[in-house]
Structure 1
Amino acid sequence: MAGGQDRALIDRFLEMLSAEAGAAANTLAAYRSDLTLASAALDGALVTATADRLQALAAGWQSLARSTVARKSAALRRFYAFLADEGHRQDDPGPVLPRPGTARALPKVLGIADVDRLFAAIADRCAIERPLPNDLRLAALVELLYGSGLRATELVGLPRNAVQADRPYLILKGKGGRERLVPVSDRARAAVAAWRAHVAADRAWLFPSGRTHLSRIRLYQLVKALAAEAGIPPDRVSPHVLRHAFATHLLAGGADLRALQAMLGHADIATTEIYTHVDASRLVELVNTRHPLADPHRGHTPPR
């Protein structure tokens, strides 16, 4: 039987998965079953389980089908990533779980034209003499999502004065307490300044809501509504998809993979490498223009 803390956090995790990732009902039911069974196997201590206990748990899955093991591992890995994001754990033991599949799914891709349509919809809202505060807030949110590649949790939890007009970067503490430097464009700083004028000076958060800050679920809803307004199917757009777009478009523009890893806050370069699915035509162009053999003045001595 799952412990009280396990049950409460499993519920919160599934709520997030439904709202942010748009997970299907069948997926949510399977994840709930997997997490509840894991909690029971760990005597109600799923939330606090050590890496050793998780490895012992996974050892009992050897007789199961590969697809079942993959699903159970995915459920637990996403759960522990959620716990780390939300501050319920200082570590993420998920990587010790098995990965029976060899192929990693590519993230959803949003083209530059689609991003332009999102910003055009925002620009239309803000083009009036006195834009609505909520439209200014949306502009600041989307500028930071796409322009800086922030995680949803990092974005909604920004302090009121985190973004400064004279400082083109943020210093964030992400997963595992790791600090990283994140660029902030001139456009994003201008959008934040316009929005912050509507945030009382005594508020702790840049995007306040009630006694705390804007929730990730509400952010997800705002982005979906903007996508629909811009004529883009809402199921193609989410805060995480905009983070993916930031990474994909930077890499396609020639960004260094290691620099991108640092900006995204990935502990493992392998995580960043999923963004190397750049346009094949760009790869051909790079070979034709950057490879040493592409230099027409490069001499070639024929064999004797």
Structure 2
Amino acid sequence: MGDQICEYLDYLSLEAGLSVNTILAYGRDLCDFAGFCGGSGIESIASVNSSIIISYQHELALSGKIESSVRRSLVAVKMFLQFALANGISSQSVTELLESPKLWQKLPQVYNTDAVKRLLDAPEPQSDRFYLRDKAILETLYATGMRASETVSLRVNDVNLKIGYLRCIGKGNKERLVPVGVPAIKAITEYIKKQRAQLLNDEKPCEELFLTHSGRPLERTFLWRMVKKYASRAGLGPRLTTHSLRHSFATHLLSGGADLRSVQELLGHADISTTQIYTHVDSDRLKKIHKEFHPRA
């Protein structure tokens, strides 16, 4: 089954255009599924039957995984089985047995503008060696709502500081243009002029905008640790992450009067229902709407 999984993952990469992280996650899920099948004496996807599917779902339910992980695992298996059926690898359809669990919709963690300002002001020129870079990263995250993976892959040529826009490559290699505000433009400009050239490795020049001390592209884990460091310094607690800035970006736009479609485009959401969650986060906005339109407010 391993060769069949590799063939399917190649299809996801070359034809479906899914992101590297998604393909890696699906690959892990399918390897787990293949291991379960192997333990049951099934070595080929063509031999997968309804009893194996039911047993695997039961195994996942008892695994202790969170609902979102179980849901992703079942989606990965379902898509793999559909691929096998469509390409003649398997002759039987058992995908109707794969029902994903219903997920509770959790409200994202959002910080008010004062808390975000404290975070953005946390880097200190006197004590932080890479103050200019860190300041530029934090300002960029909040100004654009980009994901951590999108931020670390941002290249110098993707940023147009004169007109205040950047080109972002999101999930599935989808491209979008995002405006950049004046504070972020100022921070990025200062970083490029005063620090980035010092970080560059002349032997291995790098196109990415944000670099490590050795001139290499940053990794997502670095961004996660950096944000945690400055959140702690600003007294904002351990729950603040890079994604918290993305949530705050979207919520603050909607609070300021932005329409849902525009926020969807800025975030790069394929489905507007994903963006709609932010309309439930801002309690002040909800109270204002209720007071204005409810007959008994």
Q: TM-score, normalised by structure 2?
A: 0.67
1:199 aligns with 2:200: no
Q: Which residue of 2 aligns with 1:237?
A: 240
> Which letter maps to 2:131?
D
Q: Which residue of 2 aligns with 1:179?
A: 175
Shift of 1:105: 1.7
| Whole-angstrom CA distance in 1 between matches of 2:168 and 2:121 | 29
Relative to structure 1, is the Cα distance of residues 225 and 280 closer, same or farther in structure 2, using a 3 angstrom cutoff?
closer
- Among candidates 240, 253, 256, match of residue 253 of structure 1: 256
Q: TM-score, normalised by structure 1?
A: 0.65
Shift of 1:211: 5.6
Q: Which residue of 2 aligns with 1:87?
A: none
Matches within 5 A, 1:123-134: 125-126=124-125, 134=130
Relative to structure 1, is the Cα distance of residues 273 and 170 closer, same or farther in structure 2, using a 3 angstrom cutoff?
same
Shift of 1:112: 2.1
Matches within 5 A, 1:90-129: 98-122=99-123, 125-126=124-125
Shift of 1:199: 1.6
Which sections of structure 2, spanning at least 5 residues, go unmatched?
Answer: 10-19, 39-44, 77-95
Q: Which residue of 1 aligns with 2:280?
A: 277
| Percent sequence identity over aligned pairs | 37
1:222 aligns with 2:219: no
Contact 1:145 1:239 (8 Å CA) reproduced: yes
Matches within 5 A, 1:38-117: 38-41=33-36, 60-63=55-58, 71=66, 74=69, 77=72, 98-117=99-118
1:37 aligns with 2:32: yes
RMSD: 4.2
3-state DSSP of counterpart to 2:196: coil
Relative to structure 1, is the Cα distance of residues 80 and 115 closer, same or farther in structure 2, using a 3 angstrom cutoff?
farther
> Which letter maps to 1:268?
D
- Of 270-279 and 34-43, deviating more is 34-43
Contact 1:164 1:189 (8 Å CA) reproduced: no
Q: Which residue of 1 aligns with 2:148?
A: 152
Contact 1:258 1:269 (8 Å CA) reproduced: yes
Relative to structure 1, is the Cα distance of residues 177 and 288 closer, same or farther in structure 2, using a 3 angstrom cutoff?
same
| Whole-angstrom CA distance in 2 between matches of 1:263 and 1:71 | 29
Relative to structure 1, is the Cα distance of residues 109 and 186 closer, same or farther in structure 2, using a 3 angstrom cutoff?
same
Q: Which residue of 2 aligns with 1:86?
A: none
Shift of 1:68: 5.8
- Of 252-261 and 185-194, deviating more is 252-261
Shift of 1:62: 5.0
Contact 2:251 2:281 (8 Å CA) reproduced: yes
Relative to structure 1, is the Cα distance of residues 165 and 69 closer, same or farther in structure 2, using a 3 angstrom cutoff?
same
Shift of 1:67: 7.6
Shift of 1:152: 0.5
- Map Cα deviations across residues 135-157 of structure 1 (whole Å, 9 max, x no partner): 01111100111111011011111
